[in-house]
Amino acid sequence: MSSTTTDSLASSITSVLRPLRSLSPNLNSPLAFIVPIVVILLRVAYVQAKHIHETRTAKKRNMSYTVKWGRERLHFPLPSSDAKLAEIRHEIATYTQLDPQAFKLVHAGAVMKDDNAPISAYGIKPNSTIAVVGGGDVPGASKRRKHKERPAERTEASTVAQIRGELDAVRRTLQPDVDAFLATLDPSSVPSSTASAPPPQPASALTDGKVTQLGGRNTDVELEHRRLGELLLQSLLRLDAISAEGEWEEARKERKGAVKEVQGLLDRLDGGWRARPRTNVQSQT
């Protein structure tokens, strides 16, 4: 019974009671004893009709399930427990206009795969929540994408800047450590351009094949050599992964020069390690 029906019934009862009330004071009327009974019965009928309406409304509210679709929360009447999952899928697809086979249904953290299985097999009960995963855009998704910044277009200038950034990082972080490492092994290995400069820091004296403080990282000479070598190789791989398009002559030239410089630093590191004075460094077993 809808609320409109209930209101209509109440209005009808009121219209009937109005003339009956006017007759009740007349004790000589044959209706003097009937009117109160009729009034009571009509009032009881109204209360019962209202109670039935409220009970049906509450029952209908409790016999539904919730569908979580993006930020939307949709409510659908729950079919019988022996209904197939395909029935729920079809109902959701009809409302959302999604391809029925393009989305997954998730309940209680598990994907419901068999559309021919009854919903009771998945534990779907009144007030259960089913999530729709996939299937395309959800409400507001296309709008959010418009505000998303597009990635910057790759140009020769940006490629050159990327190459120079990689080379600057090597010069700033790895080259000083390589110079310090080689100076620790053999001071004569330091390039002539830096011979008059103060000793590289923060290297320290070599004692029994150990570097007590070499960049604050590894105290073992062999481990430090391995670390520097791996970092230089990683830099070479990153430079190699930077592609220069067919007409980008400047970019190819920059990459070639950067690779040559990093490779030269790696060769110095390995050469100094192989030629290290054996009298100062205990041989590694």
Residue 66 · residue 53 · CB < 8 Å: no
Domains 64-137 and 156-274 fall in the same CATH topology: no
Within the chain, which residues score under 70 in pLDDT? 1-33, 35-36, 38-39, 44, 47, 50-62, 135-152, 187-219, 278-285
Domain borders along the chain are 3-54, 64-137, 156-274
Helix and strand totals (H; E) in the chain:
8, 7
Q: Give me the pLDDT at residue 49, please.
A: 73
CATH architecture of 156-274: Up-down Bundle (1.20)
Q: pLDDT by residue (tens digit) across 252-274?
A: 899 999 999 999 999 999 998 88
180-202: pLDDT as tens digits: 988 888 766 555 544 444 444 44
What separation in angstroms does the CA of 269 have from each of 58, 228, 244?
A: 80, 8, 29
Judge: domain 64-137, CATH 3.30.1330.10: no
Alpha carbons 128 and 126: distance in angstroms, whole number = 6
The pLDDT value given to residue 150 = 60
Identify the pLDDT of residue 55.
54
Q: Residue 161: beta bridge partners?
A: none
The helix or strand, by DSSP H or E, that contains position 271, with its residue range, turns out to be: helix 249-274
pLDDT for residue 18: 57
Residue type, 198: P
